[in-house]
Structure 1
Amino acid sequence: MTERKCILSSERDDPDALIRLAVGPEGQVLPDVRAKAPGRGAWIGVSRAELEQALAKGKLKGALARAFKTGELQIPDNLPDLIEEGLRRVLLDRLGLESRASMLLTGSEKIDVACRKGDVRLLLHASDAAADGNRKLDQALRVGQEAEGSDLAGVVLPVDRHALSMAMGRDNVVHIAVTDSRAASRLRAAIGRLESYLGCATGAPVHGEQDSAGALGA
C-alpha cells in the first residue's frame, strides 16, 4: 500500500504505522485498527494525548468532516479508549497466534537458558513483572548477544500478566521470549503501534537481526 496522510498532523507514513477510522451505517466514527472495514477511511498518526486534545477542541470533528465529505458524523466521547482497546487486542491476538505456532517461550528458567544461548530474538516483560526478574533476564539476554555492559534489555509491555496469560492460554505469563526473527518483527510492529499511540515508544530492536548497515535492526 502507498503512504497515507494523517488528517490531524498532515504527516505521511506507512498505513501499518497509522490508525484507520471508518464510518458506520448510522454515521458513527469507529476505529478500524486492522484496516479492513469497507468504504472510505481516514487515517491518524498521533498519540492518544494529541487525539484527546483534538477531540476536545473540535479539531478532529473538522478534520473528519473534510476527510469523509458526508453528512453529520457521530464521534464517540470514548474514541481514544476504543482505539487503545483495538490496538491492545491486535497485539494480544498476535501473541496468541505466535504462541500457537510455537514461536514463543515462557517460564523464567527456559527463557534464561535461551537468552544465554543467543536464541532469543525479542524479550518481553509484562507491565507488572517484578523488576528483579526483569533484570536477571535482561542480563542473560546481554550475555547471549555478547552485549554485556550495554543497555540492551527486554521490552516492558503496556499489558499485564493477566492479559498475556489469557491471550496465550497459559497460566501466569510474566516473561516471553520470541525465538523466530520473523515472529519478532511481527510482534515488534504491533507493540510499536500501541506504544506510539500511548506515547511510550521504546524503539527496542529485534535482537540478533542485523540490517544492511550491520546494526541491530528495529
Structure 2
Amino acid sequence: MTAPADIGVQGPAPRTLAQAARERRDIVSGQVMDEAALVRFVAGPDGAVVPDLARKLPGRGMWVAADRASVAAAAKKGLFARSAKARLSASPDLPDQVEALLRRRVLDGLGLAKRAGDLISGFEKVAAALGAGKAAWLIEAADGAADGRRKISNVARKSPNPPQVLGLFTAEELGLALGGENVIHTAFLAGRGAGRWTEDVRKLAGFSPLLPESWREEKPSQAGGT
C-alpha cells in the first residue's frame, strides 16, 4: 500500500501573528527580517535620515540590517530616498552615528539593570554569580589588567552556564554608567532584562567588535569567550 503523500513531509512552521508583526523588509537586501536584527530610520524635519533605535519616532520607518556595511550601502546608494519616495540626505558617517547611539544605549541599559538589581560588580561577587551559573554576560573593562581578566575568565569557563563576554567599554565608561568609580568586573544576571539588553549588544556587534583586538593576542585562557 502506498503511504499518503504528506506523511513524513514537514513544511515550515507557520508564523504566528506576533512574529509577523515584528518583521520588516531590509531596504538593502530586500530580505524580510525580525526587527531585532534591523535598525529603524526615519526622515527628519530637514530631510535628513535619522536613526531611531527605540523605534518610536513618528513617520514611516525605513529598516536596514544592523551592520556597518548595510547602513553604509543604504546611505551611499540613495536607498533611503528610494524607499521613502522623497528627497532625503543620508550622511556618509551614518554608520558611525548608529554605532555611537548603540554604545550609549548599551551603557544606559547597564545603568537601568543595576537599578533593577540585575547587575553586580566586583571580582568576588561576579565570580560567585559565574560559579552558580547565574550570569548571562560577563562585562570586562577593556583596559582592565590581563591577570584579573585571566582569573575571572577561568571562573567563567567552568561555569555550568558559561556567559557571553563584552569588553568594549573602559573602566571609566562603566563607572560613569553604573554610578561608581572605575568598574572592572561586572556580571549581567540571566533573566528578561538580559534578553532585552542582548538585542542591543547584538546590533552593536555589527558595527564594532565586542572584544578589544589586543585580547586576541593573549593566550586562550586569558581572553574569555564571545
- Structure 1 residue 38: deviation in Å? 0.2
Cα-to-partner distance string for 1:12-53 (whole Å, 9 max, x where unaligned): 211122101111111111111111110111011052144335
Report what 1:66 is aligned to: 82
Which stretches of structure 1, 4 residues or more, deviate above 4 A after TM superposition? none
CA contact (8 A) 2:71 2:94 kept: no
User: Does 1:158 pair with 2:168?
Assistant: yes
- 2:151 aligned residue: 136
Which has the larger Rg?
Answer: 2
Task: Return 5+ residue gaps in structure 2 as ranges.
Answer: 1-20, 212-226
Task: Using the aligned pairs only, state the percent identity.
Answer: 37
For residues 25 and 156 of structure 2, what CA distance do their matches in structure 1 show?
38
Number of the residue aligned with 2:50: 30
* Partner residue, 1:9: 29
Match of 2:14 in 1: none
SS at match of 2:135: coil
**How many residues align structurally?**
191
For residues 173 and 201 of structure 1, the distance between their equivalents in structure 2, rounded to whole angstroms, comes to 17
Length-normalised TM-score, structure 2:
0.76
Residue 115 in structure 1 maps to residue 130 in structure 2: yes
Distance (whole Å) between structure 2 residues aligned to residue 169 and residue 68 of structure 1 = 42
Any residues of structure 2 matched to 1:42-191 within 5 Å, and which?
A: 42-53=62-73, 55=75, 58-59=76-77, 61=78, 63-70=79-86, 72-145=87-160, 152=162, 154-191=164-201
- Per the TM alignment, residue 136 of structure 1 is displaced from its structure 2 partner at its CA by 1.2
TM-score with structure 1 setting the length? 0.78
